[in-house]
């Protein structure tokens, strides 16, 4: 195997450029290292088979219901020949995208669900080598603040849901032309019926709440710029202008249409007569949007809530989904509950896989609740063990201190000195051949030496022990002069 690798290291055709000298130091070193390792050589002048790179395109904000938004594949102009473009959305089912010849991704009537992570790969040939570059984008929908809450009061002879619904269907059909002209959206949000104060027995008041969104079809037809600063300024002006126009148009409409007739099988005709219209300008986010301060050019704009979060209508904040719920896509006004018998471990779940059986979660929670109890049981035992260890350490230290006290040291030193003197005094008695003069002199000299040593120790440890003097007399069998502390002072 190694030999085969070495053969792959050598080129099949060796150009005759005057021998290996033309390779240079790096080329020869490459061949040598490759032949030693058994791996194919890559000569310095060889080009890679393919070249690819990844780039972060950044955050992209697209206004909800924008007429047309064009997102280029590359954030910078690239002069390449015959490029191909491929757009994909991460984590989403495969779908067809509208892509221009220049590789721009087109969004028409952008919705909150179109938000997500997108990637575009541009492929082309460079010096005969395939090259690809991938750009990643995080796209978020947003909308400007601005809208109308309209309250309508109608008088009627009946207060039944069936007739009220028929009346609202007819009213909505008549308002459809106004929506087209004013580029807005009208939605009935609530209806109430209660007796009239003037004639409670024979007359009723129908209260209708109408929500007006300024982002209808072609609402931004005058804003065509792709520059974020320019486009947000244009959107602000458009919203303010449309707000005034829609309010005037609705006022004019209900002045021209005071009465609405509803016919039925049993009752020939019922009139719903308009008596009042009121407007309330709103500064709140739509459902599924919240003010997150991500868009620096429009700090009060409402940004779409990401998966795992939600925002109810008329609220300006995104909240994590509560435990037991999840949200899969962008722009959810409410979270989806888990199936029966399942729950999420933590808030903010963004996948159905985050739902687990309740037993597992209860077991984990019970263990967490038991931890303080376990600590209360273990902590006193640990403290008792530490206290016993400290006591044993103090006792051992006290024993060592007693063993090394001055009295014990003096007794040990006296015993050692006695044994030394005894061994020295036995020497002349074991040598009978010695002369009479040498024995006593030798004895005296040894006595002087031992006495001087004993004096030194006595200066250190105190007075000589009586037991020591008695033992010396017994061993020598005669009265032996012993130097005392006063004699040594006279000698010195």
Average pLDDT, stretch 367-373?
Answer: 61
Given this model, what pLDDT does residue 373 score? 67
Looking at per-residue pLDDT, the higher value among 431 and 87 belongs to 87
Looking at per-residue pLDDT, the higher value among 206 and 225 belongs to 206
Looking at per-residue pLDDT, the higher value among 235 and 391 belongs to 235
> Between the CA atoms of 150, 151, 156 and 162, what dihedral angle is there, to the nearest 10 degrees?
70
**Dist CA 393 CA 387 (whole Å):** 10
Domain pair 51-143 / 289-360, same fold: no
**Dist CA 96 CA 87 (whole Å):** 9
Using the predicted structure, report yes or no on whether residue 57 has a pLDDT greater than 90.
Answer: no
Looking at per-residue pLDDT, the higher value among 285 and 408 belongs to 285
**Percent of the chain scoring above 90 in pLDDT:** 41
**Dist CA 469 CA 477 (whole Å):** 12
The pLDDT tens digits for 100-151 are 999 999 999 999 999 999 999 999 998 889 999 999 999 999 999 999 999 9
205 confidence band (pLDDT: 50, 70, 90): very high
Average pLDDT, stretch 216-241?
Answer: 88
Locate the domains of the chain by residue range: 51-143, 147-282, 289-360
Looking at per-residue pLDDT, the higher value among 157 and 136 belongs to 136
Please give the C-alpha separations between residue 365 and each of 110, 321, 368, 424, in angstroms, as whole numbers. 43, 19, 5, 84
Using the predicted structure, report yes or no on whether residue 279 has a pLDDT greater than 90.
Answer: yes
269 confidence band (pLDDT: 50, 70, 90): confident
Look-up of token digits 């779409």: 304
Residues 6+ apart with CB under 8 A from 30: 41, 42, 43, 44
The pLDDT tens digits for 175-203 are 999 999 999 999 999 999 999 888 877 88
Q: What is the three-class DSSP state of 108? A: coil
What average pLDDT does the chain have?
A: 75
372 confidence band (pLDDT: 50, 70, 90): low
Looking at per-residue pLDDT, the higher value among 365 and 283 belongs to 283
Q: Pick from 15-29, 49-63, 96-110, 388-402 the range whose average pLDDT is largest.
A: 96-110
Average pLDDT, stretch 88-103?
Answer: 86
The correct answer on CATH 1.10.3080.10 for the domain covering 51-143 is no
Cβ–Cβ under 8 Å, residues 263 and 272: no
Specify the CATH number of the domain 289-360: 2.10.50
**Dist CA 244 CA 475 (whole Å):** 132
In the 8-state DSSP scheme, what is residue 198?
S
Using the predicted structure, report yes or no on whether residue 318 has a pLDDT greater than 50.
Answer: yes
Given this model, what pLDDT does residue 65 score? 92
- Other Cβ atoms less than 10 A from the Cβ of 326: the count is 24
Q: Pick from 33-37, 164-168, 247-251, 486-490 the range whose average pLDDT is largest.
A: 247-251
The pLDDT tens digits for 437-472 are 444 343 433 334 333 344 443 333 444 444 444 343
254 confidence band (pLDDT: 50, 70, 90): very high
Produce one character per residue of 388-410: b if its CB has 16 or more CB atoms within 10 Å, e if not.
Answer: eeeeeeeeeeeeeeeeeeeeeeb
Using the predicted structure, report yes or no on whether residue 480 has a pLDDT greater than 80.
Answer: no
């Amino acid at each position: 195997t190694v030999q085969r690798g070495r053969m792959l290291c050598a080129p099949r055709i060796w150009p005759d450029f005057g021998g290996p000298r033309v390779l240079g130091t790096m080329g020869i070193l490459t061949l040598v290292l490759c032949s030693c390792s058994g791996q194919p050589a890559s000569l310095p002048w060889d080009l890679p088979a393919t070249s690819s790179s990844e780039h972060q395109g950044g955050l992209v904000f697209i206004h909800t219901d924008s007429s047309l938004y064009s997102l280029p594949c590359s954030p910078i102009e690239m002069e390449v020949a015959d490029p191909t473009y491929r757009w994909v959305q991460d984590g989403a089912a495969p779908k067809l995208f509208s892509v221009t010849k220049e590789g721009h991704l087109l969004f028409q009537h952008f919705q909150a669900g179109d938000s997500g992570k997108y990637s575009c790969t541009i492929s082309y040939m460079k010096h005969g080598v395939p090259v690809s570059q991938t750009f990643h984008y995080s796209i978020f929908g947003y909308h400007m603040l601005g809208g109308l809450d309209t309250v309508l009061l109608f008088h009627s002879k009946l207060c039944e849901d069936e007739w009220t619904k028929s009346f609202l269907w007819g009213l909505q059909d008549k308002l459809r032309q106004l929506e087209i002209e004013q580029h807005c959206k009208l939605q009935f949000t609530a209806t109430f019926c209660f007796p009239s104060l003037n004639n409670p027995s024979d007359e009723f008041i129908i209260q209708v709440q109408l929500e007006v969104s300024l982002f209808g079809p072609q609402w931004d037809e005058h804003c065509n710029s792709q520059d974020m600063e320019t486009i947000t300024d244009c959107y602000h002006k458009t919203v303010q202008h449309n707000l005034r126009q829609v309010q005037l148009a609705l006022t004019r409409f209900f002045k021209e249409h005071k009465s609405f007739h509803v016919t039925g099988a049993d009752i020939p005709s019922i009139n719903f007569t308009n008596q009042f219209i009121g407007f309330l300008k709103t500064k709140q986010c739509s459902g599924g949007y919240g003010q997150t301060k991500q868009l620096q050019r429009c700090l009060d704009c409402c940004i779409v809530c990401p998966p795992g979060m939600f925002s109810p209508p008329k609220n300006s904040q995104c909240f994590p989904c509560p435990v037991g719920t999840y949200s899969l896509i962008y722009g959810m006004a409410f979270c989806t509950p888990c199936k029966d018998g399942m729950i999420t471990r933590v808030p903010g779940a963004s996948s159905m896989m985050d739902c687990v059986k309740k037993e597992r979660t209860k077991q984990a929670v019970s263990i967490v609740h038991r931890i303080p109890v376990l600590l209360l049981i273990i902590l006193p035992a640990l403290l008792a063990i530490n206290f016993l260890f400290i006591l044993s350490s103090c006792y051992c230290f006290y024993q060592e201190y007693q063993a090394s006290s001055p009295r014990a040291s003096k007794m040990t030193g006296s015993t050692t000195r006695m044994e030394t003197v005894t061994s020295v005094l036995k020497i002349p008695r074991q040598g009978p051949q010695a002369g009479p003069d040498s024995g006593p002199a030798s004895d005296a000299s040894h006595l002087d030496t031992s006495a001087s040593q004993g004096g030194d120790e006595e200066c250190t440890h105190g007075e000589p022990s009586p037991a020591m003097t008695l033992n010396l007399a017994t061993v020598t069998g005669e009265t032996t002069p012993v130097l005392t502390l006063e004699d040594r002072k006279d000698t010195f």
